[in-house]
Protein backbone atom coordinates (compact mmCIF):
# COMPACT_ATOMS: atom_id res chain seq x y z
CA UNK A 1 0.00 0.00 0.00
CA UNK A 2 1.16 3.46 -0.80
CA UNK A 3 0.25 6.65 0.99
CA UNK A 4 -0.67 8.24 -2.31
CA UNK A 5 -2.18 6.27 -5.19
CA UNK A 6 -0.48 6.22 -8.58
CA UNK A 7 -1.52 9.23 -10.65
CA UNK A 8 -2.86 7.10 -13.56
CA UNK A 9 -5.47 5.37 -11.33
CA UNK A 10 -8.97 6.83 -11.37
CA UNK A 11 -10.60 5.92 -8.06
CA UNK A 12 -14.20 5.69 -9.25
CA UNK A 13 -13.29 3.14 -11.88
CA UNK A 14 -11.77 0.76 -9.33
CA UNK A 15 -13.89 -2.19 -8.20
CA UNK A 16 -15.47 -1.92 -4.74
CA UNK A 17 -14.64 -4.70 -2.31
CA UNK A 18 -17.65 -6.79 -1.25
CA UNK A 19 -17.35 -5.84 2.43
CA UNK A 20 -17.24 -2.12 1.54
CA UNK A 21 -20.32 -2.50 -0.61
CA UNK A 22 -22.16 -4.24 2.25
CA UNK A 23 -21.27 -1.39 4.64
CA UNK A 24 -22.42 1.24 2.11
CA UNK A 25 -25.76 -0.55 1.70
CA UNK A 26 -26.20 -0.95 5.48
CA UNK A 27 -25.36 2.73 6.15
CA UNK A 28 -27.65 3.98 3.36
CA UNK A 29 -30.53 1.75 4.50
CA UNK A 30 -30.10 2.82 8.14
CA UNK A 31 -30.06 6.47 7.04
CA UNK A 32 -33.36 6.00 5.21
CA UNK A 33 -34.93 4.23 8.20
CA UNK A 34 -33.87 7.04 10.56
CA UNK A 35 -35.11 9.71 8.15
CA UNK A 36 -38.58 8.20 7.95
CA UNK A 37 -38.65 7.51 11.71
CA UNK A 38 -38.09 11.23 12.36
CA UNK A 39 -41.12 12.04 10.23
CA UNK A 40 -43.16 9.33 11.94
CA UNK A 41 -42.20 10.38 15.49
CA UNK A 42 -42.88 14.03 14.76
CA UNK A 43 -46.52 13.16 14.17
CA UNK A 44 -47.12 10.02 16.21
CA UNK A 45 -44.61 10.47 19.02
CA UNK A 46 -46.05 13.76 20.30
CA UNK A 47 -42.53 14.77 21.28
CA UNK A 48 -41.88 17.65 18.94
CA UNK A 49 -44.32 20.50 18.75
CA UNK A 50 -44.91 22.10 15.40
CA UNK A 51 -44.15 25.74 15.81
CA UNK A 52 -44.04 29.02 13.99
CA UNK A 53 -41.45 31.78 14.34
CA UNK A 54 -41.73 35.43 13.36
CA UNK A 55 -39.57 38.48 13.82
CA UNK A 56 -41.01 40.99 16.27
CA UNK A 57 -39.71 43.97 18.18
CA UNK A 58 -39.57 43.32 21.94
CA UNK A 59 -41.71 46.41 22.64
CA UNK A 60 -44.44 45.16 20.27
CA UNK A 61 -44.47 41.75 21.95
CA UNK A 62 -44.64 43.36 25.41
CA UNK A 63 -47.65 45.41 24.26
CA UNK A 64 -49.46 42.26 23.09
CA UNK A 65 -48.71 40.55 26.41
CA UNK A 66 -49.92 43.55 28.40
CA UNK A 67 -53.15 43.72 26.36
CA UNK A 68 -53.78 40.04 27.14
CA UNK A 69 -53.11 40.64 30.85
CA UNK A 70 -55.44 43.65 30.93
CA UNK A 71 -58.23 41.60 29.39
CA UNK A 72 -57.87 38.22 31.14
CA UNK A 73 -56.21 38.78 34.55
CA UNK A 74 -58.05 36.88 37.31
CA UNK A 75 -55.79 37.53 40.32
CA UNK A 76 -52.28 38.34 41.45
CA UNK A 77 -49.77 35.92 42.97
CA UNK A 78 -46.50 37.09 44.54
CA UNK A 79 -46.70 40.32 42.54
CA UNK A 80 -47.25 38.51 39.23
CA UNK A 81 -50.54 38.71 37.33
CA UNK A 82 -52.33 35.38 36.87
CA UNK A 83 -54.03 35.27 33.49
CA UNK A 84 -56.83 32.88 32.46
CA UNK A 85 -57.48 33.35 28.73
CA UNK A 86 -60.37 31.57 27.00
CA UNK A 87 -59.65 28.28 25.21
CA UNK A 88 -58.38 28.67 21.66
CA UNK A 89 -56.93 32.12 22.28
CA UNK A 90 -53.48 33.54 21.75
CA UNK A 91 -51.48 33.59 24.99
CA UNK A 92 -48.28 35.59 25.51
CA UNK A 93 -45.42 34.64 27.83
CA UNK A 94 -42.45 36.97 28.23
CA UNK A 95 -38.94 35.82 29.15
CA UNK A 96 -36.72 38.46 30.73
CA UNK A 97 -33.96 38.62 33.28
CA UNK A 98 -34.79 36.55 35.43
CA UNK A 99 -38.47 35.78 35.20
CA UNK A 100 -41.29 34.36 33.13
CA UNK A 101 -44.17 36.82 33.01
CA UNK A 102 -47.15 36.46 33.57
CA UNK A 103 -48.40 33.30 35.32
CA UNK A 104 -50.80 31.42 33.03
CA UNK A 105 -53.88 29.39 33.89
CA UNK A 106 -55.26 27.00 31.26
CA UNK A 107 -58.26 24.69 31.12
CA UNK A 108 -57.59 20.97 30.86
CA UNK A 109 -58.10 19.43 27.38
CA UNK A 110 -58.36 22.85 25.70
CA UNK A 111 -55.95 24.20 23.07
CA UNK A 112 -54.07 27.48 23.27
CA UNK A 113 -51.61 29.22 20.97
CA UNK A 114 -48.67 30.03 23.22
CA UNK A 115 -46.49 32.93 22.02
CA UNK A 116 -43.00 33.16 23.53
CA UNK A 117 -40.39 35.89 23.20
CA UNK A 118 -37.47 37.34 25.13
CA UNK A 119 -37.03 40.97 26.04
CA UNK A 120 -33.27 40.83 26.53
CA UNK A 121 -31.16 37.63 26.13
CA UNK A 122 -31.53 34.13 24.81
CA UNK A 123 -33.57 32.00 27.19
CA UNK A 124 -34.76 28.41 27.07
CA UNK A 125 -38.41 27.51 27.67
CA UNK A 126 -38.63 24.19 29.49
CA UNK A 127 -42.08 23.08 30.66
CA UNK A 128 -41.79 20.52 33.43
CA UNK A 129 -42.71 17.74 34.00
CA UNK A 130 -43.87 17.42 30.37
CA UNK A 131 -40.38 18.17 29.02
CA UNK A 132 -41.27 20.64 26.28
CA UNK A 133 -38.13 22.57 25.31
CA UNK A 134 -37.85 25.60 23.04
CA UNK A 135 -35.27 28.29 22.47
CA UNK A 136 -36.60 31.80 23.14
CA UNK A 137 -34.72 34.56 21.32
CA UNK A 138 -35.05 38.33 21.56
CA UNK A 139 -36.58 39.76 18.41
CA UNK A 140 -38.39 36.52 17.56
CA UNK A 141 -41.82 35.25 18.50
CA UNK A 142 -42.13 31.49 18.86
CA UNK A 143 -45.69 30.15 18.63
CA UNK A 144 -46.71 26.64 19.68
CA UNK A 145 -50.15 25.15 20.06
CA UNK A 146 -50.47 23.30 23.34
CA UNK A 147 -53.32 21.21 24.73
CA UNK A 148 -52.72 20.35 28.38
CA UNK A 149 -54.33 17.00 29.23
CA UNK A 150 -53.41 16.68 32.93
CA UNK A 151 -54.51 19.14 35.59
CA UNK A 152 -51.89 20.50 37.98
CA UNK A 153 -49.12 23.01 38.43
CA UNK A 154 -46.34 23.07 35.84
CA UNK A 155 -42.97 24.71 36.21
CA UNK A 156 -41.50 26.86 33.47
CA UNK A 157 -37.71 26.83 33.68
CA UNK A 158 -35.01 28.59 31.72
CA UNK A 159 -32.63 25.98 30.36
CA UNK A 160 -30.22 28.41 28.64
CA UNK A 161 -27.72 30.13 30.92
CA UNK A 162 -28.79 33.77 30.98
CA UNK A 163 -26.68 35.30 33.71
CA UNK A 164 -26.21 35.42 37.44
CA UNK A 165 -29.92 35.02 38.28
CA UNK A 166 -30.51 32.15 35.85
CA UNK A 167 -31.20 29.65 38.63
CA UNK A 168 -34.09 31.84 39.87
CA UNK A 169 -35.83 32.02 36.48
CA UNK A 170 -38.86 29.86 37.27
CA UNK A 171 -42.43 30.50 36.16
CA UNK A 172 -45.76 28.71 36.51
CA UNK A 173 -48.57 27.43 34.39
CA UNK A 174 -51.68 26.14 36.13
CA UNK A 175 -53.97 23.66 34.40
CA UNK A 176 -57.43 23.47 35.96
CA UNK A 177 -60.35 21.11 35.41
Tell me, what's the pLDDT at 47?
A: 60
CB atoms under 10 Å from CB of 111, counted, come to: 14
Tell me, what's the pLDDT at 12?
A: 75
Residue 2: band (very low, low, confident or very high) from pLDDT cuts 50, 70, 90: low
Residue 8: band (very low, low, confident or very high) from pLDDT cuts 50, 70, 90: low
Residue 153 has pLDDT above 90, yes or no: yes
Q: pTM for this one?
A: 0.75
pLDDT digits (tens, 9 = 90+) for 60-114: 999 999 999 999 999 999 999 999 999 999 999 999 999 999 999 999 999 999 9
For 139-161, the DSSP string reads TEEEEEEE---S-EEEEEEE-S-
Tell me, what's the pLDDT at 44?
A: 78
Tell me, what's the pLDDT at 109?
A: 95
Tell me, what's the pLDDT at 131?
A: 77
Residue 6: band (very low, low, confident or very high) from pLDDT cuts 50, 70, 90: low
Selection from 121, 145, 126 nearest residue 58 by Cα: 121
82 with 102: CB under 8 angstroms?
Answer: yes
Instruction: Considering only the C-alpha atoms of the chain, give the largest distance between any 2 of them, rounded to a whole number of Å.
Output: 81
130 with 108: CB under 8 angstroms?
Answer: no
Amino acid sequence: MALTPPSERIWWRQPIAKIELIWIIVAFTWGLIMFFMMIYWHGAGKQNLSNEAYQIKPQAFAQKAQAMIDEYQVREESGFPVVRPPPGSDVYLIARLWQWWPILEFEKDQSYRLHLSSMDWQHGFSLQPVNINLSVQPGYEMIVTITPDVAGEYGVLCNEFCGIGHHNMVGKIYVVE
